[in-house]
Chain A
Amino acid sequence: MGSQELRSGGVEVAFTVNRRPVKLVVDPRATLLDTLRDTLGLTGTKKGCDHGQCGACTVHVDGRRVNSCLSFAAMHEGSTIDTIEGLGTPDNLHPMQAAFVERDGFQCGYCTPGQIMSAVALLAEPCGQLDADVAECMSGNICRCGAYQNIVAAIQSVRKAKT
């Protein structure tokens, strides 16, 4: 996460990623997604459609889930950004990560970081109790392998454990 050379037209931006302060000079065209992946090396966040339709790029900005592909990094001066890398570690999984493993909530795994970031945000959102409510709240995350049933089961197991 070092400093970059100032390029013509570059924009200075400072934000926090996974509780670490970051200060960068970014190309105005750089999305938050590309900045996380290519500049900061945080490749856990995935690029699927790159147009806000698949949810693979979901991260939290100031505690809210967003599509990082539809946001320029330069727009995030002062933001607090959390990615899948900040959620847990292999030895100390976040309960949602553990639930996805437990309930087999993925197959190829490409959509999984986005699914999990969405699911963690969902825990603090008005959603509704039913499986159908969870499916509605998760409709912004597409799974090509079709692991939806197990994803809903994983999310519901964490929600039930919380209450």
Chain B
Amino acid sequence: MNSFTFSRAGSIADALRRSGSSVRFIAGGTTLVDLMKLDVERPAQVVDINALPLAELTRTPDGGLNIGALARNSDVAHHPDVVRDYPLLAQALRSGASVQLRNMASTGGNLLQRTRCVYFRDPAMACNKRSPGSGCAAIGGFNRNLAILGTSAHCVATNPSDQNVALAALEATVHLAGANGERSVPIGDFYLLPGETPERETILEPGELITSITLPPPAAGARSIYLKLRDRASYEFALTSAAVVVTVSDGTMQRARVAMGGVGTKPWRNLDVESSLQGQRPTHERFTEAARILLNDAKPQSQNGFKVELAKRCLVHALSLATAVA
């Protein structure tokens, strides 16, 4: 591991003073320490932010929920307000990683979780995300677990998080603090497509700190599900996953939110899929049409063509489960 200097931030202002492009904030460490051991991350300075007062979950005045960036994944997953009002998020979190990792991993760190593409994790291999301009060994290489939506000629890596898929369907807002003040960004605008700059994954600027996320008030009468399909029953990244929030009344879907994991270069939400469902009766034909729209622009790689059909079935099944009469 590269040598670095270590310091502890005592406050948000203190953390921002120590920040910069060669600095990494460390919270749980589950991504950063792993990637530093692989020499994928080589920060000159590591600033420990665990002492910052950012671990609380608090209700917002409009009935939403603010989740501090340092709230641990296990604490969020089992928090009574999350279990009652945002079961989708609880399910997604519990389906990710292991108990030990969830006990460590923070909400903000999970937002910034890096891809599991084997070439990104191996500095001996070409990877435009890790080393811009070096090429992409995954295109034509081992890409079975990689993306079919939102890819470019430069990168086909997936965002591996479960949490972030649920947050996309719940329309979370990400709150940031930086040297120039605070700003809030809808999660749909937080992640960037790889395009020609796959090294840039989010709109986060160097030195900015994620302070919290906010969930809007739970939609009245909504039913939701997080359905994750993977090679193993536990402790495995998604081949594809679907986060669905649907409100059915008078036999029609009044409101639908859909986000997919494991298939996109970012947590994948397609508004055309949602509008194809809204105002319609929850039928298998309608779900199949939504799945067709979702995968319409899919560009499979040499090994992951199976994901097109898998993602379709995943979405149809998730919508069926979410709209089934109990």
Contacts and interface: CB of A to CB of B under 8 A. Distances in A.
Given A72-B33, A75-B26, A139-B234, A29 B100 contact: no
A65 B99 contact: yes
B215 to A, nearest CB: 21
A140 interface: yes
Interface string A94-127: 0000000000000000000000001001100110
B33 A140 contact: no
B288 interface: no
A58 interface: yes
Nearest to A64: B103
A74 B48 contact: yes
Contacts of B103: 64-66
A136 B235 CA distance: 8
Contacts of A58: 100
Interface string A29-63: 10100000000000000000011100100100000
Contacts, number: 79
A135 interface: yes
Nearest to A136: B234
**Interface extent on A, as a size class?**
20 to 34
Contacts of A9: 3, 5-6
Contact of A29 (B4, B234, B235): B4
A145 interface: no
**Chain A: interface secondary structure?**
mixed
B48 A125 contact: no
Contacts of A52: 30, 34, 100-101
Contacts of A147: none
A96 to B, nearest CB: 16
B271 interface: no
Contacts of A51: 34, 37
B6 A72 contact: yes
A13 to B, nearest CB: 10
Contacts of A65: 99-100, 103
B100 A74 contact: no
B78 interface: yes
B29 interface: yes
